Amino acid sequence: MGLPPYKGVPQVSESILLEMNHIRKEFPGVIALKDVSLQLRAGEVHALLGENGAGKSTLIKVLAGIYNADSGEIRINGNPVVIQSVPDAQRNGISVIHQELVLVPHMTVAENIFLGREPVAAGRVVNYKKMNRDSREILDSFELDIAPEDEISRLTIAQQQMVEIIKALSFNAKILVMDEPTSSLSEKDVGFLFETIKKLKKSNVGIIYISHRMSELKQITDRITVIRDGEYIGTKDTAAAANDELIAMMVGRKLTHYYTRTFGEPQEPVLEVKNLNDGKLLHDVSFQLRRGEILGFAGLVGAGRSEVMKCIFGIDPFASGSVLVEGKPVKIHNPEEAMRLGIALVPESRKLEAIFPMQSVMFNITIKILKEFIKGIFVDKEKEKSITREYVDDMAIKTPTFAQLAGNLSGGNQQKVVIARWLATKPKILILDEPTKGVDVGAKAEIYAIMNDLVKQDVSIIMISSELPEVINMSDRVVVMRGGNVVECLSREGLTQEKIMQYATQLAS
C-alpha cells in the first residue's frame, strides 16, 4: 500500500523517522479516524492541525499505545512496528505529553517523573536519593522553581504541565509528541519549551506538535498536516502556508467573520469592586463593570486575574474590600450566593474544576438549572433535552448523542460544554476565564458571536484572556493587572498589543 499523495509539497526525500499510514479508529457511535496518515522526519517539528474533535489526540493515543487502531500501520525508520501498549511505544522511542494531565496527584514530582522505572538500590528498594537527585538535575536545567519532593497536587497547573514536559523529555525519546503543551504555561515557560524544542531538533528528535495557536505553529514548526473529521486533508510547508489557507483546510470553508462585535453606548455599572485585598496576592483591586459591556482582563500568568474572580464569585474569601451589584453592597460567601445574584463564572481549568467526565453531556450542561425541570417527583426530560439541544446546536458541540460521557468528548468540546452550562443559568454578569483556550478557530468565532449576542441583551461580561488579539477586538475596555494590582484600565481607542504588554510588564509604570 503506497502513501497518500502529498498535496502541496513534493514527496520528501529526507530520512523519514515515523510513518503512520491509513490509520482508522472507531469508538461506539463515532469514527474518530477514518484514514489518517502522517510522516515525520528526523529533526522536524511537525504540526497536527484540525478542529476540536478532528481526531488529533486520538491519532496520538494510537501512536502512544493507549488506543489500538482498527487498521493501518506504523513504521519507524521504514520498519513496521507493533504498538499495543504504552511500554511498546516507549520501547520504540516514543514519548508523549498528553493534553490532559496524567500525573498522579498524591505522589511527588520525582516519583511521577520516574513512575514505573524507579531506580533501585540494594535490597530492591526504591533509591529515593538517586531519584530525587536526578530529578533535581533536570528541574535545575529548566530553571524551574519546583522541588523533586513537592507533591504534584500542590503545584499550579502551569507547574504540573512543566513536570509533564520534563517527564516526557527524560525518556530520551527519538519521537516526541506534544498535545497542546502550552495551553496553561506562562510566557517564560513557553520560552523555555521553545528553546528545548530547538535543542531537540538539533539532536534529530522528531516532534509532533499540536496547538490551536497559529502564531506558535508559525514560530516553531517546519510542516503542518491538517486533518478534518478524521480524514487526512493535506500537508504544507509552514513557511509557505497562509493562515487563510490553513483555516480553510481545517474547517472546509472560508471563515468570513472571526471577531463579531457591535459596540454600544456606555451604561451604568452593574458590578463595582472596591479595594479588594485577599491578604495574599491581591492588593486594593478596584474596577467597575458596566451593563452590556465586555471588560477584558489582561496580564501575565500569575498577575492575579483569576484570583480576583474567585473572590468575587465566593470561591475564595477576601480580607477586605467591598463588592456592589447593581449599586447594592453584597456579601458573597459561596458560589450559590453569587449565582442567586445573577453571576456566573466559567473557570480556566475546565478539566480540574468543572467537567464531570463520567456523566453525560446532558447532565453536564443542565446540572446548574436542574431544579427548573423538576415537577413534583418527576424530571421533565423533554425540557431538559430541548435545552441541551439548544446549546449543543448553538455552540456546535460535537457529540454523537446527549448521553455520551463528557469525558469522551475531545478537549475543546469539553470546554464548550462547561461554557454552555453557565450560559444556561442565564446570568446577568458572566465571568469567563480564558474562554477560548484550547478551542479551534471555528469554535472561537462561535464563542465570540455568542458573547456579542449576550452583551446586546445587556448581559455584562468579564473576559480574562492571554490572547491579546481577542482582548483587543472583543473588549469595550481592558483592565491590566500586574503582581496582584490593577495597573490601568484602558479604553478601546488606540488599544494595541504593545500598549497592553507595557502595562502588564514593568515597562510603563
User: Does residue 58 touch Mg ion according to CB under 5 A?
Assistant: no
405 close to 460: Cβ distance less than 8 angstroms: no
* 3-state DSSP assignment of residue 23: strand
Which parts of 186-312 are beta strand (E)?
Answer: 206-210, 223-228, 231-237, 269-277, 285-290, 294-298
**Residue count at the site for ligand ATP (CB under 6 A)?**
20
Is residue 32 a contact residue for ligand ATP (CB under 6 A)? yes
Q: Which residue has the cell 450560559?
A: 423
Locate 11 and state its grid cell: 514527496
- Contact positions with ligand ATP (CB under 6 A) in 457-496: none
Question: Least separation, in Å, of the C-beta of 100 and ligand ATP?
Answer: 9
Q: Which long-range contacts (CB under 8 A, 24 or more apart) does 198-203 make?
A: 200/169, 200/176, 201/43, 201/44, 201/45, 202/43
Residue span binding ligand ATP (CB under 6 A) among the ranges 26-34, 129-137, 151-159, 198-206: 26-34
217 binds ligand ATP (CB under 6 A): no
Q: What whole-number distance in Å separates Cα of residue 50 and Cα of residue 59?
A: 12
Q: Which does 160 bind (CB under 5 to 8 A by kind): ligand ATP, Mg ion, none?
A: none
First and final CA of the chain: distance in angstroms?
63
When binding is defined by CB under 6 A, the residue of 21, 44, 49, 53 that contacts ligand ATP is 53
Write each residue from 98 to 137 as x if it is in contact with ligand ATP (CB under 6 A), else as -, in one continuous string. -x--------------------------------------
Work out whether 41 is an interface residue with ligand ATP (CB under 6 A). Answer: no
The single-letter DSSP state of residue 151 is B
Minimum distance, C-beta of residue 33 to ligand ATP, in the bound complex (Å): 8
Residue 53 binding: pick among ligand ATP, Mg ion, none (C-beta 5-8 Å cut-off by kind) = ligand ATP
Taking CB under 6 A as the binding criterion, the range among 46-54, 191-199, 213-221, 424-432 that sits at the site for ligand ATP is 46-54
How far apart are the C-alpha atoms of 187 and 331, rounded to whole Å? 35
Q: Which of 50, 230, 411, 427 binds Mg ion (CB under 5 A)?
A: 411
Rule CB under 6 A: say whether 294 interacts with ligand ATP: no
By CB under 6 A, name the one of 411, 427, 442, 484 that touches ligand ATP: 411
What burial letters (b/e) apply to 389-425, b meaning 16+ CB within 10 Å? eebbeebebbbeebebebebbbbbbbbbbbbbbbbbe
The DSSP line for 103-134 is --TTSBHHHHHTTTS--B-GGG-B-HHHHHHH
Closest to ligand ATP by CB, 39 vs 211, is 211
Select the residue interacting with ligand ATP from 21, 39, 58, 182 (CB under 6 A).
Answer: 58
The answer to whether 463 and 435 are in contact (CB under 8 A) is: yes
Q: State in angstroms the smallest separation of the CB of 437 from ligand ATP.
A: 11
- Shortest distance in whole angstroms from residue 51 CB to ligand ATP: 7
Which partner in ligand ATP, Mg ion, none is near 30 (CB below 5 to 8 A by kind)?
Answer: ligand ATP
Query: Contact 148/178 with Cβ under 8 angstroms?
Result: no
- For residue 220, how many other CB atoms are within 10 A of its CB? 17
Question: Which member of 132, 413, 436, 465 binds ligand ATP (CB under 6 A)?
Answer: 413
User: What is the closest distance, in whole angstroms, from the C-beta atom of residue 414 to ligand ATP in the complex?
Assistant: 8
In this structure, which amino acid lies at residue 54? A
Q: Out of 90, 161, 408, 436, name the contact with ligand ATP by CB under 6 A.
A: 408
What is the distance between the alpha carbons of residues 18 and 79, in angstroms, rounded to a whole number? 9
Return the one option of ligand ATP, Mg ion, none that residue 409 interacts with (CB less than 5 to 8 A, by type).
Answer: ligand ATP
Dihedral, 471, 472, 474, 478 alpha carbons, nearest 10: 70
What is the C-alpha separation between 287 and 423, in angstroms, rounded? Answer: 24
Total residues interacting with Mg ion, rule: CB under 5 A: 3
Among 21, 37, 39, 57, binds Mg ion (CB under 5 A): 57
- Mark residues 91-130: x for contact with Mg ion by CB under 5 A, - for none: --------x-------------------------------
How many residues in total does the chain contain? Answer: 509
Q: Which of 27, 117, 266, 381 binds ligand ATP (CB under 6 A)?
A: 27
Q: Which residues in this chain contact Mg ion in the complex, by CB under 5 A?
A: 57, 99, 411
Q: Which residues in this chain contact ligand ATP in the complex, by CB under 6 A?
A: 27, 30, 32, 50, 52-58, 99, 398, 408-413, 440
